[in-house]
Structure 1
């Protein structure tokens, strides 16, 4: 009965879809695999990395994934830290200094610096990011005491810095913990997670700058959200020599806060892989029975231990599993004391060291800004956003190619950001899956109805293939309304007819959520959707690349034509495409400098940080490129400059007016 009802439902949907389309252009698609979304609470499986070389290639990919998704590729310029001490507490065998410094001009990292007293340095140092405790770095309770931990580190002979998450304690005077959730910021690679990771990088800079710290002996530890900060930092900063991420490396939950979810971060990976990037440096994984790390001894730890085994370094990774809820309690802290002592002090066997009792100063005395007033040079959240966007723009301009050497340098740097922003790739022929639904012979051409996709992805792209009697080349045409735009009543459109007359095979496709796939829906209401899933625009670009790959598999010279709003999709796709002869782009009067337009019509996280159309031009040149229907804000001069640098100015044609179908066909007379 269930199967009968399902069949009836599919037939109803089919009729509804066909009713929306010109009958002869319809290719019924029952399902597209991309409707299934990734999310933070799904169960992930650690891949089987069979060799160290395979793992290291994957690790390099993950490093670029992390840096690009957090807006840190290429790495920003480091400003002077300008550290200041606003107060000091003298303990019997330790001191606590209330410190702030600038990670970005006018944007502060605030925290407490714990130092040994009565011992001779230089000392190893430990960075201590915190989780979502109510009192942040000042939390002191049974499940976790950050000051108690840092006091014990100082007594053991470590300099220790406990610093605020953005929007906690002193930091909340500047911006809230909800900062960085604006889609406009995402265009420019700005996120709360990215800012926190940058702060952590600057914390290492700060610790290494201290005269009583050995810069080659740096560790990092934190629990929960602080555990996320720990493994994110250790994965991309080799200066972290020893780590203790607590209750956060999990295959079952990836972190639920904005500060743990940068757009694009987990498109194709998860936290256990990121944690494994610590290998072969010493890492203690703290887990517990009462949260999402309850499976660590039999799931996450063996997976990561397998990576350490590739380096003959299994002695450098360990799991301590405590019977408690989500925590960094005394038992967990004592495990960290022994681990850091072995690997940073050269003392002990790495097993737990008993904690000494501690009494905490008044928390008010540990605030950096006890009067609630920021320094005069403090910037606001809006000023921070404007500064970061301006820096991103300046970075692109500073890298603008001037000759062949700088052209390649731009491709090597911004090309990576561009690739990781869009997350699309032209498939190899062997990866394609082509289903022919039917075909019919028409006047002077053959019409094939196809479903195009990739074997490993599960997308199903409805397609129409027009094949003339003696083809000499092929053209992919993309329109915002899909392949039905290639019809004129019961016949092909004048553009298609003209191309067929010139012996060109023509392929029309319904890119993601256009044409027959317009009714596809994904659950975009899940938390941090773009951390785990590509945007609609990015998926459309992938479909364009898949369409190009199919045409190239037919062994013809291939051209690309983008019409109306799909013109910009095609221009972005062309930067990632191989072996395309001519590209003809309708710029659709794009208001290029307006971020609202990019958010509404062309949303791809990080795309503006990646140089958007400008980077596409660098990747396309010196191939033939025709752009029409441009606005005054279109970066025409940049395009012309790039084509001059590559020595092919004649290959670029830009015009303000919109080309007619005949105008496009006239290009084929050249």
Structure 2
């Protein structure tokens, strides 16, 4: 999308006109890999690509930045929320001679608490610090058995000279402000995901705020912060490491795997693993020191042969191979004594500068009673605490306030809005940075007003395939003039631009072809003749963390629109047709496709965009949940953000009927100084009016 292109998106309902009859305009079957499989947490991911796809430091650093954004976006943290005061409380000190243990909690959001225990060595410091996460052991931060002992780990780290914060996963011990059902599917309903509210997002935010907490302690060296944990705590470890560059050393234990990604809602915020996996996410730690601990008796049994070599290839790109290590123990799922001692030794090297050949041995310690370590032993939270699950309403309210506060008023605030919300919307829609379209021509037929070319636009990277019909005008412009193309999208597929019989062009196509336009009607994902074949896997957004691993239909349709646009922009389509580069591009759609195209437009960069709002009230959550569901779409400002970001292209929005709110478009265009490029009509405009608007000089 690097060429100077005039783009156009048109959305309306058309009166049909005959072009010719008797021919079949079906493109025929297409092999779209997206219908063949649904990605999920327990499938085998081939991570060998990591050693060959990224050729140099620059390529990986660009990819790592994308993954970091993806992790933050999945957690509902794009744009980054305003950080409230921690209002930390540290109390109930227990003295163990060379270290102390205290109760500690702080507000990660107003009235929402991150709770735990603070272990501190005696002395002034500055000391390195460790975030000590726990997994799904029933006792949480108090677990103490052969396979894992969180208090023993924390106490030994404190004795070795680290400040340690052992904190609760949400729903464990003192953290009772989210109700956790038996299946650990807390906050998992679709509306919460629409708003970017998730258990995994809250835990990632708590981890980020826990770094703030540690850095606020005068005895902590803010440049030496590590994180470690096993199982679900291992997931927290690599997610916060990817999300926050303040983590300087990471040690995920018994978690990083190419064939099991994590089975709890807290490990599966929506959009997190689209086009990626835990192994690649973990590699974002590079070039920071990373230690992988594996076990023969769980899903990390292949770490030395599969996961570690893949991640090591990234460290090699960054000349940092000495900073990644891995070890595997003969054990079941664990963070046992052997694993702990291995981590102690790794931390000693990279946090304390003690590169010693012998492992750091664990010292037996006296563990404190659970009731002496609980922040709220009687279950009573401080005054002003949020009620159970009230965090959802708070986050929605804060999200809307943040959006309103950034509503652009001038060019300066518009630039700030773009900086905050363009990457946020891009991540919500799971738009890749690179498209690699290939065009397959499938023969042509003659019609009254020209020629119809059947074709398929493919993306061999993802296996996407978009069938289309291209009408070629009879009276084509000279090569020296700019060829013009209109890309037509309807929620009915190509049929939306044809007569009911499917073999005759509609009036809009006829008008465009008459004026010398090429007109390309496409079937985006799951529309027209491009629907899931019988026997395809179920696409149920509410099962098996579907939207953690897969794009929803709306997101796939946005993807297809951008794929086809890129085939025009980079010259692939024109070369296949033997034409010069298209100089003016039109993207035309009807019905629901109006809003699909509006979401695509900020990234497709059209110069002209006509949106049939289809009388949709997009402030209604139920409408988005049923017809336009994309996780985190509300969190990033939905269609309001898209209307701002698409400026200053020429924009016509029609068929609003007082239901579709266009005020954000008005704000964006006024701020960009291009209010004259915006036209809004409450009524549905006809083909003549739209054609006149498109053909005029604006």
Does TM, scored on the shorter chain, surpass 0.5?
Answer: yes
1:309 and 1:451, CA in 2 relative to 1: closer, same or farther beyond 3 A? Answer: closer
Number of corresponding residues: 645
Q: Which residue of 2 aligns with 1:587?
A: 613
1:437 and 1:281, CA in 2 relative to 1: closer, same or farther beyond 3 A? Answer: closer
Separation in 2 of the partners of 1:407 and 1:389? 23
Q: Is the 8 A contact 1:426 1:542 kept in 2?
A: no
1:546 and 1:336, CA in 2 relative to 1: closer, same or farther beyond 3 A? Answer: closer
Where do 5+ consecutive residues of structure 2 fail to align?
1-21, 478-483, 575-580
Please list the CA deviations of residues 43-92 of structure 1 after superposition, one character each: whole Å capped at 9, or x if unmatched: 23141233222222222222222222222223221111112245343434
Aligned 1:377-416 pairs, distance under 5 A: 377-416=384-423
Give the secondary structure class of the aligned counterpart of 2:604.
coil
Match of 2:163 among 155, 159, 162: 159
Comparing 316-325 with 470-479, which one deviates more in the overlay?
470-479
Q: Which residue of 2 aligns with 1:565?
A: 592
Match of 2:622 among 583, 596, 612: 596
Q: Is the 8 A contact 1:70 1:191 kept in 2?
A: yes
TM-score normalised to structure 1 length: 0.91
Match of 2:207 among 200, 209, 214: 200
Aligned 1:349-364 pairs, distance under 5 A: 349=356, 351-364=358-371
Q: Which residue of 2 aligns with 1:576?
A: 603
Give the secondary structure class of the aligned counterpart of 1:141.
coil
Q: Is the 8 A contact 2:79 2:636 kept in 1?
A: no
Give the secondary structure class of the aligned counterpart of 1:24.
coil
Aligned 1:244-643 pairs, distance under 5 A: 244-347=251-354, 349=356, 351-424=358-431, 431-471=436-476, 473-488=484-499, 489=501, 490-520=503-533, 521-525=536-540, 527-551=544-568, 553-554=573-574, 555-556=581-582, 557-578=584-605, 580-643=606-669
Separation in 2 of the partners of 1:433 and 1:175? 49
Please list the CA deviations of residues 179-228 of structure 1 after superposition, one character each: whole Å capped at 9, or x if unmatched: 33122222232221111111011111111212332323222111111111
Higher share of residues assigned helix: 1
Q: Which residue of 1 aligns with 2:39?
A: 38
Separation in 1 of the partners of 2:378 and 2:556? 50
Aligned 1:138-157 pairs, distance under 5 A: 138-157=142-161
Q: Is the 8 A contact 1:246 1:285 kept in 2?
A: yes
Separation in 1 of the partners of 2:255 and 2:591? 47
Q: Is the 8 A contact 1:173 1:372 kept in 2?
A: no
Q: 4+ residue stretches of structure 1 with deviation over 6 A?
A: none
Q: Which residue of 1 aligns with 2:15?
A: none
State the 1:523 CA deviation. Answer: 3.2
Q: Is the 8 A contact 1:25 1:483 kept in 2?
A: no
Q: Is the 8 A contact 1:400 1:406 kept in 2?
A: yes
Q: Is the 8 A contact 1:197 1:229 kept in 2?
A: yes
Match of 2:222 among 212, 215, 221: 215
Please list the CA deviations of residues 485-525 of structure 1 after superposition, one character each: whole Å capped at 9, or x if unmatched: 22224532223223333332222111111111234444335
State the 1:455 CA deviation. Answer: 3.3
Separation in 2 of the partners of 1:648 and 1:173? 47
State the 1:441 CA deviation. Answer: 1.1
Separation in 2 of the partners of 1:179 and 1:294? 30
Give the secondary structure class of the aligned counterpart of 2:651.
strand
State yes or no: 1:131 paired with 2:135. yes
TM-score normalised to structure 2 length: 0.87
Q: Say which structure, 1 or 2, has more relative contact order (CA 8 Å, 6+ apart).
A: 2
Give the secondary structure class of the aligned counterpart of 1:320.
strand
Q: Is the 8 A contact 1:427 1:545 kept in 2?
A: no
Give the secondary structure class of the aligned counterpart of 2:518.
strand
State the 1:338 CA deviation. Answer: 2.0
State the 1:175 CA deviation. Answer: 3.6
Separation in 2 of the partners of 1:543 and 1:397? 31
Q: Is the 8 A contact 1:425 1:577 kept in 2?
A: no
Q: Which residue of 1 aligns with 2:681?
A: 655
1:122 and 1:424, CA in 2 relative to 1: closer, same or farther beyond 3 A? Answer: closer
Q: Is the 8 A contact 1:282 1:316 kept in 2?
A: yes
1:224 and 1:595, CA in 2 relative to 1: closer, same or farther beyond 3 A? Answer: same
Q: Is the 8 A contact 2:101 2:117 kept in 1?
A: yes
Give the secondary structure class of the aligned counterpart of 2:392.
helix
Q: Which residue of 1 aligns with 2:115?
A: 110
State the 1:669 CA deviation. Answer: 5.4
Q: Is the 8 A contact 1:110 1:164 kept in 2?
A: yes
State the 1:550 CA deviation. Answer: 4.2
Give the secondary structure class of the aligned counterpart of 2:390.
helix
State the 1:101 CA deviation. Answer: 1.0
1:212 and 1:581, CA in 2 relative to 1: closer, same or farther beyond 3 A? Answer: closer
State the 1:427 CA deviation. Answer: 7.0
Separation in 1 of the partners of 2:289 and 2:522? 51
1:584 and 1:395, CA in 2 relative to 1: closer, same or farther beyond 3 A? Answer: same
Q: Is the 8 A contact 1:404 1:646 kept in 2?
A: yes
Separation in 2 of the partners of 1:192 and 1:360? 30
For the aligned residue pairs, the C-alpha RMSD in angstroms reads 2.3
Please list the CA deviations of residues 531-586 of structure 1 after superposition, one character each: whole Å capped at 9, or x if unmatched: 111110011112222333445543332212221111111111112113x3432211
Q: Is the 8 A contact 2:177 2:388 kept in 1?
A: no
Give the secondary structure class of the aligned counterpart of 1:374.
coil
Separation in 2 of the partners of 1:84 and 1:333? 29
Separation in 1 of the partners of 2:457 and 2:283? 36
Give the secondary structure class of the aligned counterpart of 1:28.
coil
State the 1:407 CA deviation. Answer: 2.4
1:427 and 1:337, CA in 2 relative to 1: closer, same or farther beyond 3 A? Answer: closer
Separation in 1 of the partners of 2:235 and 2:413? 37
Separation in 1 of the partners of 2:223 and 2:357? 19
Separation in 2 of the partners of 1:604 and 1:369? 38
Where do 5+ consecutive residues of structure 1 fail to align?
1-21
1:135 and 1:508, CA in 2 relative to 1: closer, same or farther beyond 3 A? Answer: same
Match of 2:186 among 179, 188, 196: 179
1:50 and 1:581, CA in 2 relative to 1: closer, same or farther beyond 3 A? Answer: closer
Q: Is the 8 A contact 2:177 2:389 kept in 1?
A: no
